[in-house]
Structure 1
Amino acid sequence: MSSHQPLDSDTVLWSADAGDRAGRPLLVLLHGYGSDERDLFGLVPHLPEEFVIAAVRAPLAPPFPTPGYSWYAIDGLESRDPVHVTASAHRLLAWTDAVAGRLGEGPGATHPAVGLLGFSQGGAVSLQAMRLDPHRFAFAVNLSGYATPGALPRDAELAEVRPPVFWGRGTHDDVIPPFLVEHTTEWLPRHVELSGRVYPGLTHSVSEQELADVRVFLEKRLADVGSAAD
């Protein structure tokens, strides 16, 4: 169990009522900088209905006049320290401890599997959370995000587990610095089972084609959960 303060459960948006969540795989949505839980929750109609979907709110308020919330600061020298990405990832782990309980089949299990879908900062936090606990999450979807530079103690363990990760980004994304894209391109294949696509002309956003590809990826993950339960 994590000793870090969890995310605010009162702000979470759910796709299903409390009585209709247990026993179904959970997909957690993590929004980007300056946004909130309502942003990615708009994707719910495009995602497989077998998932229980929870859109969480990042814990920090960015400097005025930027609206919304952030997972970590992006301005100043201190923002380059990966410890801030890790801190938010710990808070995500603490929230899944509180909400999902023990994962898997059998007594006490709330969800047979938990996956992550993050955009930009949310994608970076998703990958960081997998690195902190390689067995916690069944998969991750990283949209216009990146892998945070710097080693973590369980990276070698993650490379053995090799969870499925979808990474989608656009050729015209001018928000994520090129050195982070290069690092992620090298890092992901060495640590996860990578799939994904680079979308011509796409900016720092999500396209209809990318959503269609994400749905295919998620349907495959549902098949994985079903196979593990048999």
Structure 2
Amino acid sequence: MSAHPSLDPAVVRWSVPADERGDRPVLLLLHGYGSDEHDLFGLVPYLPGGFVIASVRAPLTPPWPMPGASWYPIEGLDGRDPHAVTQAASAVLAWIRDAVGDAPVGVLGFSQGGAVALQMLRAAPDAVSFAVVLAGYAAGGELPGDAVLAERRPPVFWGRGAADDVIPSALVHLTSQWLPVHSDLSGRVYPGLTHSISQDELDDVRAFLDARLAESAV
């Protein structure tokens, strides 16, 4: 498989200008399939102001006529290939090294972005403090960082809709088995929610993120 494209720093949306970021913790937003950096940036008013928020664009282009961008292919025989998810995670981690530096980083991802967020934890346990996974899942296979996660159990919030018919049930089952072993898991299944985000879920995410800020201030 060819090298995964890198993220474009010119299209990143930041919640504050560079001269106001300092060493504040960064919350990185990873959008879903067929979307872009503008999508999840609309959540900024609902998220704690203690974070510097950065929303990035995935580097791949989905097949026509799907708009937007994607982190990895989900079509064809190799759709949702764990190796491709790892490549996407590596591209985001490289961007963090270049653009964020030493500030602590947490990741919030929706759908594909949620899968990449978990894969970032697995690929580089020291680079990411926590993950918020909305309508996402854990990719299969094994990574060297899995043993580290099982020992450290970093905070992870996993929210999904009871009526979500986009993520295959086998991946939901895998995630429900994998996360309790490899994370300090919190989250909720939201009745009636489809492949989307609700206000109840945002309230829960806000509480989770407030707790992370409180921990970092100790």
Q: TM-score range by the shorter chain?
A: over 0.9
Cα displacement (A) at 1:51: 0.5
TM-score, structure 1 length as denominator? 0.92
Matched, 1:208 2:199: yes
C-alpha distance in structure 1 between counterparts of 2:25 and 2:122, whole Å: 20
Q: What is the correspondence of 1:51-70 to structure 2 with a 5 Å cutoff?
A: 51-70=51-70
Cα 1:80–1:185 change in 2 (3 A) is same
The residue number in structure 1 matching 2:87 is 87
Residues in 2 aligned to 1:100 and 1:81: alpha-carbon distance in whole angstroms: 28
Aligned partners of 2:72 and 2:80 also within 8 Å: no
Deviation at 1:99, TM superposition (A): 1.1
Secondary structure at the counterpart of residue 174 of structure 1:
coil
Whether 2:186 is the aligned partner of 1:195: answer yes
SS in structure 1 opposite 2:78?
helix
Residue of structure 2 in register with 1:45 after alignment: 45
Taking the aligned partners of 2:170 and 2:207, their CA distance within structure 1 comes to 29
Name the counterpart of 2:25. 25
- The alpha carbon displacement at 1:124 in A equals 0.1
Give 1:4 deviation, angstroms.
Answer: 7.2
Write the deviation string for residues 96-151 of structure 1: whole angstroms up to 9, x where unpaired: 0001213xxxxxxxx2x210000000000000010001111111000000000111
Q: Which amino acid in the other structure matches residue 159 of structure 1?
A: A
Query: How much has 1:78 moved relative to structure 2?
Result: 1.8
**Structure 1, gaps ≥5 residues long:** 103-110
CA distance in 2, matches of 1:210, 1:34: 22
Report the equivalent of 1:100. 100
Q: CA deviation at 1:76?
A: 0.6
| d(CA) in 2 for partners of 1:4, 1:149 | 19
Q: TM-score, normalised to structure 2's length?
A: 0.97
Give, in whole Å, the separation in 1 of the partners of 2:80 and 2:38. Answer: 27
The 1-side partners of 2:173 and 2:20 are apart by 42
2:173 is aligned to 182
- For residues 189 and 13 of structure 1, what CA distance do their matches in structure 2 show? 33
> Residue 142 of structure 1: which of 133, 153, 157 is its match?
133
Aligned-partner Cα distance in 1 for 2:5–2:112: 19
* Cα distance in 2 between the residues matched to 1:52 and 1:4: 27
Q: 1:132 aligns to what?
A: 123
Structure 2: state its 5+ residue gaps.
none
C-alpha distance in 2, partners of 1:177/1:55? 26
- SS of the residue corresponding to residue 79 of structure 2 reads helix
Alignment correspondent of 2:73: 73
Q: Is the 8 A contact 1:158 1:192 kept in 2?
A: yes
4+ aligned runs moved over 3 Å, structure 1: 3-6
Match of 2:109 in 1: 118
- Percent pairwise identity: 62
> Partners of 2:176 and 2:148 in 1: how far apart?
19
- The DSSP-based 3-state class of the residue aligned with 1:128 is helix
